[in-house]
Structure 1
Amino acid sequence: MIKLQPITTDNFWETISLEVLDDQKEFVTSNAVSIAQSKIQPECIPLAIYEEDILVGFVMYCIDTDDSEYWIYRLMIDKNHQNKGYGKAALNDVIEIIKKDKSHNKIFLGVHTESEAAVKLYKSSGFVFNGQVFGKEHIMQLT
């Protein structure tokens, strides 16, 4: 069972050391950059993903200042822990956290369509493409 934990001095270095597979690197912003982004954009909430006491991934979500809606900005599972269901479990946990805020009813994320595993994961959790494109990312919305 996974659990989401804040990034702290105790897990910072381990979190920024997580890596995706080589063919996924072009689709994922580094955890170090994401954590830095959360310091200048305090609306961003970075979390470490644990399976028991083992750090397996990273996720970050926020209320975007452009549209005042929730966005899942980052989700990555370390290359040594992929294909074990951690990504889906973490995604579902973040969705549940967001849904507790009844003042918002939309959740978005951006994905590179070439990242077939990510698209499959997001679709399996109820996200659909909404036709918007920002740079190289196609936008998906939770239905």
Structure 2
Amino acid sequence: MEVSLRQVTKENYEDVCELNVSKEQEEYVACNMWSLVESIFNDGHETRAIYLEKEPVGFFMWVKESLTKVSIWRFMIDRKHQKKGIGRKALDLALAEIKQLTNLKEIEICYNPENPVAKEFYSSFGFVEIGMDEDDEDMLAVITI
């Protein structure tokens, strides 16, 4: 099972936009189409399609917040491909790519504290919860480099 990250291009963006999470997860994950639009009109946004072999099965978007900080804003695996270890492998690949940035000191992710899987999953990668975001809606967790 080969998992890879690839640029989102005019050849694959429609497939990425058609990916969906389960009904129960919809409130936790933004629409991929909206995320792609957001990335086009804002500086520092990086998007990647998550591939299983030759098929897009997920989506990542991260934002370079400053010279020293990157925030992962979007991360999803299509409902048909969940619980196969793809997300774990994809996050490994994304973190490795992000860590190549010069001067990076912190990688941040936020998630709904009501999401039962998120805390355990992200902490297994070294993310440490630091408290709620400024809107008091999402939990912030960071990896310090």
Give the TM-score of the pair, scaled to structure 2.
0.92
Contact 2:106 2:143 in 1 (8 A): yes
Shift of 1:112: 0.4
Q: What does residue 93 of structure 2 align with? A: 93
Superposed CA RMSD in Å reads: 1.4
- Does the alignment pair 1:60 with 2:61? yes
Deviation digits for residues 30-56 of structure 1, max 9, x if unmatched? Answer: 001110110111310011000110111
Structure 2 counterpart SS, 1:37 = helix
Distance 2:118 2:89 in 1: 13
Q: Which amino acid aligns with 1:106?
A: E
Q: If each structure's helix is expressed as a fraction of its own residues, which one has the higher value?
A: 1
Distance 2:121 2:19 in 1: 20
Q: Which amino acid aligns with 1:18?
A: L
Distance 1:29 1:119 in 2: 18
Q: What does residue 121 of structure 1 align with? A: 121
Identity %: 30
Q: What does residue 104 of structure 2 align with? A: 104
Q: What does residue 141 of structure 2 align with? A: 140
Distance 1:37 1:83 in 2: 28
Instruction: Give structure 1 stretches of 5+ with no counterpart.
Output: none
Structure 2 counterpart SS, 1:23 = helix
- Does the alignment pair 1:80 with 2:46? no
Distance 1:18 1:68 in 2: 31
Distance 1:101 1:127 in 2: 18
Q: Which shifted more, 121-130 or 73-82? A: 121-130
Q: What does residue 29 of structure 1 align with? A: 30
Structure 2 counterpart SS, 1:116 = coil
Q: Which shifted more, 56-65 or 22-31? A: 56-65
Deviation digits for residues 94-124 of structure 1, max 9, x if unmatched? Answer: 1111111231111001100111122221111
Q: What does residue 38 of structure 1 align with? A: 39
After TM superposition, what 4+ stretches of structure 1 lie above 3 angstroms from structure 2? none
Q: What does residue 5 of structure 2 align with? A: 4
Q: Which amino acid aligns with 2:51?
A: Y
Give the TM-score of the pair, scaled to structure 1.
0.93
Deviation digits for residues 67-114 of structure 1, max 9, x if unmatched? Answer: 851111110000000011111111111111111123111100110011
